[in-house]
Amino acid sequence: MDITVFGSSSKGNCYHVSDTSPLLLDAGIPFKEIQRKLNFQTSSIAGALITHQHMDHCKAVKDLIKAGIDCYMNEATKTALGVSGHRVKVIAPMEQFKIGEWSILAFMLEHDVDNLGYLLANDTGQKIVYITDSYFCRYRFNGLTHIMIEVNYDQATFEANNGADPIRSRLMRSHFSLENAVDFLKANDLSKVEQIMVLHLSDKNANEKLIKETIQQVTGKHVVIAG
């Protein structure tokens, strides 16, 4: 199994999980870019898991549907995008479903719109949790092999760059900080974790070196910054 970053920023988020049933996690970059990154083999995609309605996570959804790819999303995202048809698979929090070899559980995250996280497991023992655009996750997971988690900002850099900026309150209510991510990681079973992939860093508010070194020190795991 391999996880490839197609996009990980406010400009667009999309990740490719390659296995016998390849998946897209979010589709927030142009469809033509997804096609290029897949060498135009888009028919290989077994499904796309969409977290929420913000365009940097769902920009390509309509084109994916036209290309015959099943797109999984919550009702709020479906309504916001105005999509319909048999390729649109509406799922609810705590609903479990299958895509090929993957058993997938959707769970609710805290954001400023309805937002889903995903837990993916297959028969070979791979278990991935995907969490983005959330300031808190109430759930804990056992037996994870891969953690994909947003760290949008670290508090020191954020404070230094924003002061009394009104963006402060929105960021703190909608995106993971380094400090919250560390708390989440400490609360979970990391015994089988092979890799922690850090997602969606802010260009302005994230010290990449600090974030990577802090998470490595806290977890003792291999840490990759998506980008």
Looking at residue 41, its pLDDT comes to 92
Contact 59, 33 (CB under 8 A): no
Specify the amino acid at residue 188: N
Mean pLDDT of 9-26: 94
Mean pLDDT of 145-163: 87
User: What backbone torsions phi and psi does residue 53 show, to the nearest 5 degrees?
Assistant: -85, -5
Q: Shortest CA distance to 77 belongs to which of 64, 90, 95? A: 90
Q: Would you give the distance in Å from CA 182 to the centre of its chain?
A: 17
Does position 36 have pLDDT exceeding 60, yes or no? yes
Looking at residue 53, its pLDDT comes to 95
Quick: pLDDT tens for 197-206: 999 998 888 9
Looking at residue 172, its pLDDT comes to 57
Looking at residue 89, its pLDDT comes to 98
Helix (H, G, I), strand (E, B) or coil at 55: helix
Distance CA(77)–CA(88), nearest Å, equals 11
Q: Shortest CA distance to 146 belongs to which of 202, 185, 98, 203? A: 185
Q: Which of the pair, 160 or 220, is modelled with greater confidence?
A: 220
Quick: pLDDT tens for 75-132: 999 999 999 999 999 999 999 999 999 999 999 998 777 899 999 999 999 999 999 9
Mean pLDDT of 51-59: 96
Task: Give me the percent of the chain exceeding a pLDDT of 90.
Answer: 81
Mean pLDDT of 56-75: 98
Looking at residue 135, its pLDDT comes to 86
Does position 167 have pLDDT exceeding 70, yes or no? no
Distance CA(41)–CA(58), nearest Å, equals 20
Looking at residue 111, its pLDDT comes to 78
Looking at residue 66, its pLDDT comes to 97
User: Which domains are delineated in the chain?
Assistant: 2-225 (3.60.15.10)
User: Which two tokens mark 117?
Assistant: 């996280």
- Long-range contacts of the stretch 88-95 (C-beta < 8 A, 24+): 89/47, 91/116
Does position 165 have pLDDT exceeding 80, yes or no? no
Looking at residue 171, its pLDDT comes to 58
Mean pLDDT of 70-76: 97
Q: Which of the pair, 203 or 149, is modelled with greater confidence?
A: 149
